[in-house]
Amino acid sequence: MYEQLRQLREFGTRSLVVHSMMAVTFVAAIGSAFLLSGQLRLVSFVAFVNFTAGLWVSHSVHSLGNTFTEDEYEGVTGEL
């Protein structure tokens, strides 16, 4: 288990994890908008979109801190 956690030390790996979480939660938001009904649809859609936005903001701030290091990270497309 500790080996998998050690892989998260690299910024590129953490970035991929956060981007995949953002993709999953945004798909969940779209899915809840089409699959649910009533007040539950609205509440779950807003909750998923807010969680996705929170991940985006926190990752953006984290990316700004990474620019001051000597890391060779060039963006998530470079990691794929």
**Is 64 part of a structural domain of the chain?**
yes
Say what the pLDDT of residue 66 is.
Answer: 72
Select the more confidently predicted residue: 37 or 3: 37
Task: Specify if 24 maps to a domain.
Answer: no
Residue 22 domain flag: no
- pLDDT computed for residue 35 by the predictor: 96
CA–CA gap between residue 16 and residue 12 (Å, rounded): 6
Query: What range does the domain containing 60 cover?
Result: 36-70
Query: Is residue 80 situated within a structural domain?
Result: no
Q: What is the pLDDT of residue 73?
A: 62
Question: Within 10 Å of residue 11's Cβ, how many Cβ atoms?
Answer: 17
In a domain, 7, yes or no: no
Comparison of pLDDT for 2 and 54, the residue scoring more: 54
Is residue 53 one of the residues assigned to a domain?
A: yes
74 or 59: whose pLDDT is higher?
Answer: 59
Tell me the percentage of the chain whose pLDDT exceeds 70.
81
Structural domains in the chain (count): 1
Q: pLDDT per residue over 29-60, tens digit each?
A: 999 999 999 999 999 999 999 999 999 999 88
Is the residue at 62 inside a domain? Answer: yes
Instruction: Report CA-CA distances (Å) from 61 to 14, 31, 44, 56, 66.
Output: 13, 28, 26, 9, 9
